[in-house]
Amino acid sequence: MQTGETSFWRNLYDEFLIGGELRVRRLGFGAMHLSPEDGDVVRRAVDLGVTLIDTAYLYGWGANEELLARTLWPYREELLVTTKVGVAQPGQLDGRPEVLRTQVDAALTRLRMERLDLLQLHRVDPEVPLADQVGTLKDLRDQGKIGHIGLSEVTVEQLVQARGIVEVASVQNRYNLLDPAHEAVLAACEAAGIAFLPWRPILDLVNAPKMKTFEAEFGATRAQIGLAWLLARSPVILPIPGTSKIAHLEENVAAGAIRLTEAQRERLA
């Protein structure tokens, strides 16, 4: 890390223990938008103190995972790179046990890892019993290929069912200031101490004219306001904004220093 660039990481407000043991800074980085030539962006994210990077097989059908390994391996001890499985091709979910096993093995190879410390089911395949999908990931965890298991785009009922089979360390659902549809899932995660990784945390805000009035009032960009609101919304929220531009990355990371007042949070609400 470069001296003077991480002073905004002030205290434990900025940190979370995923699964009770994976310590990360709460403001992470989503690698989805990176092209094979964007290694400098993710390298800069790590230099700025980001310790949670989210990728998936879906992002370039493995190319995104290969980019992270090519750029960041050997990984810093404090860095957590999490990936997702369960999508076979565009628009097609595939949660069959044999497919999940194959995708996990392939992710280990591409990421140059012996174990995926956090592996998330990208989507629940409605054609395969949830118990079979989660049970397969549990088996892979017991084999030592996975450390902790997460889910994505799940309901409270699915989360409860999954937790009856295996410990769930994280949930990745769409959620932001203008789209809080998964409040019930967030509440369930908060009650259980499960990390909640909102995807698309700021894109809706950047394109929302109504947010413009807050920029001058708060002295921050719409994206920064949205990220600060998420960090203040719940201690289990770990935003993972993504970008392919270093300037936008630095803007997003700087949001970690913003502490909204109660009055400001009420104004946004």
Q: Which residues are catalytic?
A: 59
| Mean pLDDT score, 245-251 | 96
Q: Considering only CA atoms, give the Rg of the chain.
A: 18
Task: Please compute the mean of the pLDDT values over residues 56-78 and round it to a whole number.
Answer: 97
Tokens found for residue 106? 């392939």
Describe the crossing of helices 130-142 and 97-111 by its angle, rounded to 10 degrees.
40
Following CA atoms 92, 97, 103, 109 in sequence, which dihedral angle do they give, to the nearest 10 degrees? 180
Contacts of 43 by beta carbon, 8 Å cutoff, 6+ apart:
71, 72
CB 159 within 8 A of CB 188: yes
**6-10, 83-87, 216-220: the lowest-pLDDT one:** 6-10
- The distance from CA 74 to its chain's CA centroid, rounded to whole angstroms, is 21
Annotate the chain with DSSP letters as a single string. --TTS-TT--SGGGEEEETTTEEEESS-EE-TT--TT-HHHHHHHHHTT--EEE--TTTTTTHHHHHHHHHHPSPPTT-EEEEEE-EEETTEE---HHHHHHHHHHHHHHHT-S-EEEEEESS--TTS-HHHHHHHHHHHHHTTSEEEEEEES--HHHHHHHHTTS---EEE-B-BTTB-TTHHHHHHHHHHT-EE--BS-SHHHHT-GGGHHHHHHHTS-HHHHHHHHHHHH-TTB------S-HHHHHHHHHGGG----HHHHHHH-
CB-neighbour burial class of residue 246 (10 A; exposed 0-12, middle 13-18, buried 19+): middle
Tell me the average pLDDT of the chain: 93
Read off the amino acid at residue 140: L
pLDDT at 210: 81
Give yes or no for residue 208 having a pLDDT over 90. Answer: no
Split at pLDDT 50, 70, 90, the class of 10 is very low
Q: Find the mean pLDDT for residues 15-23.
A: 97
Beta bridge partners of 189: none
The label of the residue with tokens 């009032």 reads 217
**pLDDT tens-digit series, residues 22-62:** 999 999 999 999 999 999 999 999 999 999 999 999 999 99
Omega into 74 within 30° of 0, i.e. cis? yes
- pLDDT in the model for residue 212: 85
The tens digit of pLDDT for each residue in 130-171 reads: 999 999 999 999 999 999 999 999 999 999 999 999 999 999
Task: Report which residue type is found at 104.
Answer: V
Residues of the chain above pLDDT 70, percent: 95
What backbone torsions phi and psi does residue 83 show, to the nearest 5 degrees? Answer: -130, 175
Cα 41 to Cα 67: distance, rounded to the nearest angstrom: 11
CA 49 centroid distance within chain: 16
Domains of the chain and any CATH numbers: 12-268 (3.20.20.100)
Q: Residue 216: its pLDDT value, please?
A: 87
Average pLDDT of span 239-257: 95
173 touches 182 (CB < 8 A): yes
